[in-house]
Amino acid sequence: MTIQCSAKIFVFTALECEAKALVNFFGLKKDNSAHAFSIYKNDKIVVAVTGVGKVAMAGGVAYVLALFSNSPLPVLVNLGIAGHKTQEIGTLIVASKVIDGDSGRVFYPQLIGGKWPETSEIKTTAKPNTQYSQHCLNDMEASAFYETAARFSSSELIHCIKVVSDNESTTIDNIHPKKVVQWLDKHNIEIELILGSLERLSQVLEPENLIEYKEIIASWHFTVSGKVKLKALLRRWSILSSDSWGGCLGADFRSGKELLRKLEQEIDALDVSL
């Protein structure tokens, strides 16, 4: 089942209390259809509550984005609380680097523009990290969110926004749902500005003028991540070449992956004049 919705912004939280501030601020209504996760939405934004941990977050992101698959290049945000060794409780921080503390995998969100809040690395672990051994954010979902979200959109549009909930002097034992709502509620305007900026960036990145795109996806099968890669490659071609890409004309590719490899090869072979 696919839900028809014009929303381009998708926010994923682990807890209901993390979602509540946004639900109230944007006047979102709960989708009462039978779903595996709680979903709140209007015509501009969808907020989904996935549950705690990497497995729950990965499953929630994949489920929701399959449900709303009509959004071509969505803004994807993980919003919630996180610990930090020294940062003051209630501080809003955007992740500049996402590290999976269990697998060692690293992801780099692309922070386009200069109007971002304070930034920090974030380290995700399967269990709560209360040692605060490093000067970075600590959570239990960010890496799984980012790794899954990267299959559905572009890195410029995928971000983790956290509010500090605990530190060396104020432990996780002091976290209460009402406090979480209050911390996030204080940053509603700032979060709204970030989401609006990302939505405008999505519109810029959307290749509406790439006439080959619709023709290609109508002729060959692509996964969601394959479509994102196709758009990115066609954008590169349009920047480096004055002509539209004709490499697909009369070609008999066995798969979309084969077409992508061909396009990459032809881009690499272009003569670039500066």
Q: pLDDT band for position 210 (50/70/90)?
A: low
Q: pLDDT band for position 274 (50/70/90)?
A: very low
Q: Name the residue among 47, 68, 65, 61 with its Cα closest to residue 5.
A: 68
Read off the pLDDT of residues 226-237 as tens digits, 9 standing for 90 and up.
887 787 788 778
Q: Domains of the chain by range and CATH?
A: 9-205 (3.40.50.1580), 211-268 (no CATH)
| Environment class of 39 (CB within 10 Å of its CB; exposed 0-12, middle 13-18, buried 19+) | buried
Q: Name the residue among 31, 43, 23 with its Cα closest to residue 1.
A: 31
pLDDT at 74 over 60: yes
Q: Mean pLDDT across the stretch 34-52?
A: 93
- List, in sequence order, every residue forming a beta bridge with 129; answer none if it has no partner: none
Read off the pLDDT of residues 46-67 as tens digits, 9 standing for 90 and up.
999 999 999 999 999 999 998 8
What is the pTM assigned to this prediction? 0.78
pLDDT at 250 over 90: no
Q: How far apart are CA 209 and CA 237, in angstroms?
A: 12
On whether the CB atoms of residues 102 and 41 are closer than 8 A, the answer is no
Read off the pLDDT of residues 93-128 as tens digits, 9 standing for 90 and up.
999 999 999 999 999 998 987 789 999 999 999 998
Residue 3 three-state SS: coil
Residue 111: partners with Cβ closer than 8 Å, 6 or more residues away: 94, 96, 119, 159
Q: How far is CA 234 from CA 112, 156, 198, 207, 221, in A?
A: 20, 17, 21, 8, 16
